Structure 1
Amino acid sequence: MTSTHDPLRLADVDPLVFTERARGGQIVGAVALDVVMPVALLTAGIIVIVAGQPALGWVFVLAALALLAVAVWLLGRTGRTVGVATVDARIVRRTTGAAAGAGALWALASGKLAMFDVRRGRDPFAPAIAAFQFPEAVAPAPSRARRGMVPTLLLDSGERLTLDTALVLGRDPSAPADAPAEVYRWADMSRTLSKSHVRLEWDGRQMWVTDLGSTNGTFVRGAGASTPLLPHQRTPVPTDVVLEIGDRTLTVRDAA
């Protein structure tokens, strides 16, 4: 029998899915590091040359030009200049998510580039689609929990929660109005948990986990390795598994 569904192709996926545009403060910080400093050096060099010290002045001028050249090269190749990397962002073409390439300055001047926050959203250089790979120790078999029963969550701090409704975990979590959920504030002295770190759901047959763009990520533990979940992507996860949430762990158990 022939399937009525075509296989998913990379071209069918928005290359900027799950990305987040950079905030104003990030843009200002990147510009300050990548542009203001070289311009200041260039200005200082000209002033020193006019003041009668050409040798020292040209040192400033050449240093400024070198900084600008490196910034343009990094922008074209990786979208991560020193300033952009410092504010945890990446500059890419706003339509394709690719690096600017050789025409980086022209693309920037013509508004074809955009800056994206790689901490709050997916890095545009990361794969737009990725099949979830279960760790070797976790077989991708259907969950053993019976329909109508709900899994139990065992926190490493000793708490036991029942996943009878959608749940958001974090050090100070909240749930948006368009995706209501219970929230659980998980005490975390190490501050490796984000405020709203992860969302867990049970649909009666399947457990779903969504990393909410956390700083330190969410992982499914396997034998000798852990598999990271893509940010903001609702991912099926079997029961009887250990989730690594920041430096904390959460064990999922089948319903008794």
Structure 2
Amino acid sequence: MPVPVPTIVCGRCGTPFIGTAVCGNCGHPTATSRPLDTGAWRAQLRPAERGRVLGAAVADTLCLVVPTAAFAVATALGGWHAWAVVLVCLVILGLLVALGLWCLRGWGRFAGGALLGLRTLDGLTGLAPDRFVTPDRLLVADARNGADPLVIAVPRPAEPGTGAGPAPQPAPVRAPQPPPAPRPHDCFVAAGQSLTPLTGTLLVGRYPVRQLGAEPLPTLELPDFTRTMSRTHVLLENENGRLWATDLGSGNGTRIQRPGEPSVTMTARLRMPVVLGTRIDCGEQSLLITDGRRAAA
């Protein structure tokens, strides 16, 4: 099915082009382009019948008069002074006229033209009259049934299997190999002067719940007299050497600081990677992920 695309015609040679800064035939810039009045363009134009032109003019006039008259009647019945009614009606009428001229300059029609399928064109340029022109230069064209003079039809690309030939197959690309898992190593959680092995999953908190899923989990209970650490504060994991930390919705939040990086606040329930040497602040309690050769800070 054709796709409507606005027509732009070169003002020097009359060649149509789409979405470019200059004409592909003569290099004329599109910003100052005005199409020539060529015989081919006029031959494709289908003039509108006189009755439909008059109907569009009547519809445009009603769009200007009816709202103004309705407002005048409403304000008169409301007890407004006559001069106020006249002044406001003139302002409304002026705004409606300005709207109609703006639509005419931009799209070549107002409400009547849109209703009856008409386009008003500048007979010299073949486009919508974007400037004041004399009435003898205006042309009213029939825009129904695909005859709109301001659009051209560009065919869509053929769908696969419609006779346009098989679509070229992209060259196969080898999927990148995942990086090898790091070798398991000794990993501990240092809190104060104690070291707790981190060989799998470890729940850390002031009084951690020992079961989050189907099976009970190892826990690390830390005394916290300031009560800045939640009962179940953070989840630490060691997956064959890959280390993870997850804040379990703690009240005061969790901050982590990897070696050589600034401290960041963890997002609750978001699993974040950590490495050896990472400092984890749970409220006022601090943990250190270590290989056992370093003491907690």
Shorter-chain TM-score bucket reads 0.3 to 0.5
- Name the TM-score, length of structure 1 as normaliser: 0.40
Looking at CA atoms only, which structure, 1 or 2, has the larger radius of gyration?
2
- Name the TM-score, length of structure 2 as normaliser: 0.35
